[in-house]
Structure formats: C-alpha cells, structure tokens
Structure 1
Amino acid sequence: MSIESIIQHYGLIALFAGAGIEGETVVVAGGLLAHKGLFPLPGAMVAAAAGSFVADQIFFSLGRYFRDKPWVRRAREKPVFERALGLLERYPIGFIFAFRFIYGFRTISPIAIGTTKVSTKLFVMINLVAAIVWGIVFTGIGYLFGHSFEKLIERFLPDKHAILIVGGVIVAIALLLGLWHWWRGRRTQAA
C-alpha cells in the first residue's frame, strides 16, 4: 500500500484526531493535502471542525465533572487558567468563541470554562459555531496557500527524501520537548 493510498484511506480520521489533539498545524496540513487532491476539501473542513468540537467538549466535560480532582486543581494553579477565567468573566460569549484562536489557550480554556457556571447548552452552541469557523479558516489557509507552500519546499528542499527527514526530525524534536516539559512539570509538582 502506497503512502498516498494510506493518506486517502486514513487521512480524514487522522485529521479529525489531529485537530482535537494538536490543532492548527495538523489542520493547515490537512488543507495542504486537500490541495494536493489526496482528499476532498469539504471533507477536510468537516473533519477539522468535528475533531476540534469533540475535543473541546471532552475538555469542558472534564472540567465540569472533575473540577475537584487533583489534576484540575493543578491546572487551576497555572497562570493561563486564571487569565482564561478573567477573559471569560469580561467577555463570556466572545471568549468561548475565540479561545481556540488564541495561542496558548486552546486546551486549558474549555477545562476552565467547565469549572464555571456557564451552561453546557451555551457552551455546546458557541463551541459548535466556533469549531466550524476554525475548521474552515485553517483548512482553507492550507488549501489556498498549498501551491505557494509546495513551491517554497521545492526551492529549499528539492529532494523529497530530505523533506521526509526534516519532517521526521521536527516531529522527534517536538516529541522530546513535550516529554521534557511533561517530566519537568511532574518533577515540579512532586517537589
């Protein structure tokens, strides 16, 4: 089975999961792959929006139902949690709509919102609209700038194997940084 057929077969499922876990980078890459014709643009947009919506609903529910658990209490100690609550108090509907577009707020905000008195119905409605807009915007960026991105890659990395190697190195570095950050956080909490 070729790489293209694997991406065609699992691409939208991977995009769905990546939109919920990683966010913009995966969704822009999904738009780029749609530009290359590996799957349809509307499918990529739906997968991105759905993945984002589902992940945020899960995080909101975790905040709502586990607000007194130690891991949520540790999250409350983070400065970004307090900033999220402050923005929520000042601009409740605007913040619920916009948190996914603000760097550093994407994962912690739905948990923070879940610990407040914001109704589940209100969060679901605003989260759905925001996820649809977000999925369309970021997938569209990848799709619209796909040709320019391909040209840039061809100019600086004409060898496709070099692109795979660079991509692999970037993923490995990101994983190592993530593990280091997780380990450091666990060590700090234990102290």
Structure 2
Amino acid sequence: MQLEAFLSDYGLWALGIGAALEGETVTVLGGMMAHRGLFAYLPAVLAAAAGSFASDQTFFMIGRRYRDTGYVQKVRSRPAFQRALATFERHPTAFVFLSRFLYGLRTISPLAIGTTDLSTMRFALINGLAALAWGTVFVTLGYLFGQGIEALFGRVKSLEHLLLPFIAVAIVAGGVHWIVRYRRRASVG
C-alpha cells in the first residue's frame, strides 16, 4: 500500500493520536496533508482537537483520581507544577484555556488542574473550546505552510518530500531537548 493511500485512509486517526501524544508538530503536518488534499480541512481540525482534548482530559483525570498518591505528590512538589498552580489560582478559566498554547505547560497543566477543586464539567467545557481553537490554529498553520512550500518549490510530487523535513526537524529537536534536559539534571545533581 502506498503511503499516500494509507494516510488518506487512516490519516485522521493518525492525526488525532499524534495530536494527543506529540502535539503541534503532528498537527501542523496534518494541516499540510489537508492542503495536499489527503483529507479535508475541517475533519483535520476536528481530529486534532479531539486528540488534544482527550489527552488533556486524561491528564486532568489522572490528577483528579491520584492527587493524593505519592507520584502525583512528587510531581506536585516540582517548581513548574507550583508555578502552574499559582497562575491557575489567579486566573482559572484563562489558565485552562491558554495553557495548551504555552510551551512547557501543555502536559503538566491539566495534571495540576486535576489536583484543584475545579469541577470536571467546567474543565471539560473549557478544554473542549480550547482544543477547538488549538486545532484550528495549528492545522491552519500547516495548511498555509503547505501553500507556501508550493509557492516556493512548485507542486510537491510525493508525501515523502513533506515528511522528510519534519522527520529531520523532529530528530534535531529531540536531540536538543535531550541535551538540555541532561544538562539541567547534571547541574542540579
């Protein structure tokens, strides 16, 4: 089976799962795929939003369910967690909505919010609206970036030409992330 055929058949599922697990990079790539016509724009936005919503809802529920356990208490003692809670206390609705757009807070924020007294229904409502906005922003960026590639380089003939730069960027970003994390741990320990 050709890669393009596979992505056109399973692409929206892959986009939703990728948005849940990785986030922006996969969602921007989904916008580029929509630009290529592998699937429609609106379903791409909805798939990305659904994946992002499910991920944040899961972390919220983990925080809610296990807020008194050792692991969550350990995570709760971290400075990033404490900063997230302090900001949440000042502006709870804005924090829930905007935290997915802030680098470094996307995963820890829903877990932190789950340890608060914010109701599950209120979190789900704000989370759903924020996920739609987030999905729209990043799929649109990918869609527009796809148009920019075509304007600069002409019609890209295969999906592999779109995937290779993202794979390269992901490898470099992962390496940089690992090095920064390793150096932080070395300087702390």
The TM-score normalised by the length of structure 2 is 0.84
- Given that residues 4 and 159 in structure 2 are in contact (C-alpha distance below 8 angstroms), is that contact kept between their aligned partners in structure 1? no
Distance 1:160 1:120 in 2: 41
1:177 CA displacement: 6.1
User: Which digits, 9 at most, give the CA deviation of each residue in 1:63-103, with x for residues without a partner?
Assistant: 00011223212221222111110111010111111110111
Distance 1:116 1:3 in 2: 44
Distance 1:110 1:174 in 2: 24
1:172 CA displacement: 4.0
Alignment of 1:54-69 (within 5 A): 54-69=54-69
1:33 paired residue number: 33
Q: Which amino acid aligns with 1:14?
A: A
User: Which digits, 9 at most, give the CA deviation of each residue in 1:6-44, with x for residues without a partner?
Assistant: 111121111101111111111111111100111111110
Distance 1:121 1:46 in 2: 20
- Given that residues 32 and 146 in structure 2 are in contact (C-alpha distance below 8 angstroms), is that contact kept between their aligned partners in structure 1? yes
Alignment of 1:79-118 (within 5 A): 79-118=79-118
Distance 1:137 1:122, change over 3 A: same
Specify the SS of the correspondent of 2:122. helix
Alignment of 1:26-175 (within 5 A): 26-151=26-151, 154=153, 166-174=165-173
Q: Kindly tell me the number of residue pairs found equivalent between the two proteins.
A: 188
- Given that residues 16 and 48 in structure 2 are in contact (C-alpha distance below 8 angstroms), is that contact kept between their aligned partners in structure 1? yes
Specify the SS of the correspondent of 1:67. coil
1:181 CA displacement: 7.9
Taking only the aligned residue pairs, the percentage that are identical comes to 46
For structure 1, the 5+ residue unaligned runs are none
Stretch moving more, 105-114 or 13-22: 13-22
Distance 1:168 1:101 in 2: 22
For structure 2, the 5+ residue unaligned runs are none
Distance 1:69 1:181 in 2: 29
